[in-house]
Amino acid sequence: MPKQTFLNLPEEKRNTIINAAIDEFAEYGLENASTNRIVANSGIAKGSFYQYFEDKQDVFMYLMSVLENEKMEFFKSKHPPSMHMDTFQYFRWMIKTGMEFNSAYPRLTQAISRVLLSEGLYYGKTFEEQRQKANKAMHMMIEQAIKSGEVDPSVDIELAVMVMETWSNAISNYILQEGLKQKDIMKWIRSKKTQEMIDKLLYVMEYGLRKTESDFSASFKERNKS
């Protein structure tokens, strides 16, 4: 995390350094990122960089904390449109809302996604705890869906979690990359055409987990008898 000397800088100078780092990671990832380029593009001396951060990974971890804080603030004002959504409806809402957040911070999200997903850092030791938390939440979601008759009980929960995690990351990354090609990413992601495309992509995942409509209806009727 940044040293106090960085936090003491004027906000404008901090933002200049951070924006240079975001551009560097978005273009080159973490492994191939150059401290020299970050220094040159932010207009600071190389010696100053090491007064602010330990190394380039330290900068990246700070960007992660910035993204996490922004996401927490963003989701505070977001609420599901209905209290009666089933598991897949709620999951779809979470994914779409997350994509809306990504479109509000496209370059930062692109930089983080490139390092975590393209370079595989998300699946390593560094982010093991965060990944386990996310997987635990999805595990509970699938268990509840099985109990409510929404998901085929023969589905292996661990495999289902892996599918949901992989598929949602792939879709989010795909939508972000397509959105960055647009003039107005927020307008594009909110458009009817894009929302329908997201629904279709998520349906591929949902179709493999959800019970058939006839099985689901029968199960629902049976539960309501008691």
If you average pLDDT over residues 7-33, what whole number do you get?
Answer: 94
Q: What six digits make up the tokens of 41?
A: 């593009």
Asked if 59 and 48 touch (Cβ cutoff 8 Å), the reply is no
Q: Which residues of 111-124 are buried (b: 16+ CB within 10 A; e: fewer)?
A: bbbbbbbebebbee
The 10s digit of each residue's pLDDT in 124-166 is 887 788 888 888 999 998 998 898 888 888 888 998 898 888 8
- Give the model's pLDDT for residue 37: 95
Confidence class for position 33, pLDDT limits 50, 70, 90? very high
Domains and CATH numbers, the chain: 4-61 (1.10.10.60), 78-220 (1.10.357.10)
Asked if 12 and 33 touch (Cβ cutoff 8 Å), the reply is no
Confidence class for position 219, pLDDT limits 50, 70, 90? very low
Q: What six digits make up the tokens of 78?
A: 């977001």
In this prediction the pTM is 0.77
The 10s digit of each residue's pLDDT in 36-72 is 999 999 999 989 999 999 999 999 999 999 999 999 9
| Phi and psi, residue 13, nearest 5° | -70, -40
Q: What six digits make up the tokens of 149?
A: 């008759």
Percent of the chain residues topping a pLDDT of 70: 93
